[in-house]
A and B are shown apart, each in its own frame.
Chain A
């Protein structure tokens, strides 16, 4: 009896551990190593789409391709004299036919990852304790995942001369338009002191 109980608890712990969030470290970033870059009016923008599942798994512990989420790492550097404001919500991903997507919030991205099959089997095999173990573990991993995605996200920033910033921009693609071969990233910016705006368009190859 005691042996069975120990085995059962061990199995439960193993099931719960399966849904733990295990992100990898964020690789260092440099403008020169990014897939594409462009400079206009004192702003240099470089972008690197994480379209390959292996790269997504290593940084986000998730297969974003399956979930129609495309993370794009963006680096911006101000080389001009004007202070420039770059906003996360003003970035766009242009797909074929001129269709433009706005960036998604990290909650929207994190909540797409649900291991319902694991919860079902855990409940089926272990009853209420199984359901509770996987649910608690899922809640914890969701919370950690969301915080990590938030930390890795590109945040609104005002850049003075020679300042730079980087982070991920998350796009949720519509089902029918999932992962096209190419897309255009549009980075809008505003001159902090005059309110004048501009945009930089960068072509991304999503097959590389």
Chain B
């Protein structure tokens, strides 16, 4: 088929009309970022001689954030990846880690564990550039430590940031968004692991348990 000038114009007009119709119809294209955070170079040398429970709430596991730009929705399922990362991080701190299905209560104590760790996502945000700016991601985890009857005795946050400029070779924003999110999660997790024993409330707990000398 030979395309002359008229035909080309007709095709172009139809394509433009089609794009316009897609925009008007409210169609959105979902793009899910694949997250692969890792944990390396921890400075922790000695584990604490405790059995601790870890509780991931459904809200934490299912946490995801989406950002709509024109007809594209960029989705970052950060909860699921955070569970994987905490599953790697917490065993670096304690002798034994067991998953628990709920937070203990005074009526339903859990005396098999010295404490229950409950991570949550306090804040997560990401942004993508419109032209030549940076991809950014920021995450803040809240870590809560509870005793056998569920009473919280320590609660603090760790945050991480990821930033990356526009690069060539990305077919979609989903890849760099995933990479900056990985970087943010990794930074936060390093702070959690390396700074765990420096948290004043944790130090008080270790002191009470006889693992730290009174200053």
Please give the residue numbers on chain A whose beta carbons come within 8 Å of chain B beta carbons, in ascending order: 85, 87, 89-90, 102, 104-108, 111, 119, 132, 134-136, 138-140, 142-143, 146, 190-197
Nearest CB in chain B: distance from A128 CB, A: 11
Q: Does B205 contact A (CB under 8 A)?
A: yes
Q: Looking at the complex, which of B18-26, B39-47, B132-140 is the stretch in contact with chain A?
A: B132-140
- Kindly state whether residue B130 has any CB partner on chain A within 8 Å: yes
Interface positions of B from 156 to 193, Cβ below 8 Å from A: 156-157, 159
B200 in contact with A142 (CB, 8 Å): no
- Total count of chain B residues near the partner, CB < 8 A: 27
Contact of A105 among B133, B140, B207 (CB under 8 A): B140
Given contacts A89-B142, A136-B133, A139-B132, contact A102 B125 (CB under 8 A): no
| Given A107-B125, A192-B200, A195-B203, residue A139 in contact with residue B138 (CB < 8 A) | no
B201: chain A residues at CB < 8 Å are 190, 195, 197
Q: Decide: A193 near B200, CB < 8 A? Known: A102-B122, A143-B134.
A: yes
User: Chain B nearest CB: distance from A207 CB in Å?
Assistant: 29
Q: Kindly state whether residue B204 has any CB partner on chain A within 8 Å.
A: yes
B200 proximity list for chain A (CB < 8 A): 85, 190-195
User: Which B residues touch A107, using CB under 8 A?
Assistant: 125-127, 136, 138
- The answer to whether residues A111 and B127 also contact, given A87-B156, A191-B200, A193-B200 and a CB cut-off of 8 A, is yes
In the complex, 17 of the A-B residue pairs with CB atoms within 8 angstroms, ordered by the A residue number, are A85-B200, A89-B156, A90-B156, A102-B123, A105-B140, A106-B138, A107-B126, A107-B138, A119-B130, A135-B131, A139-B132, A139-B133, A139-B134, A140-B133, A142-B127, A190-B200, A194-B200
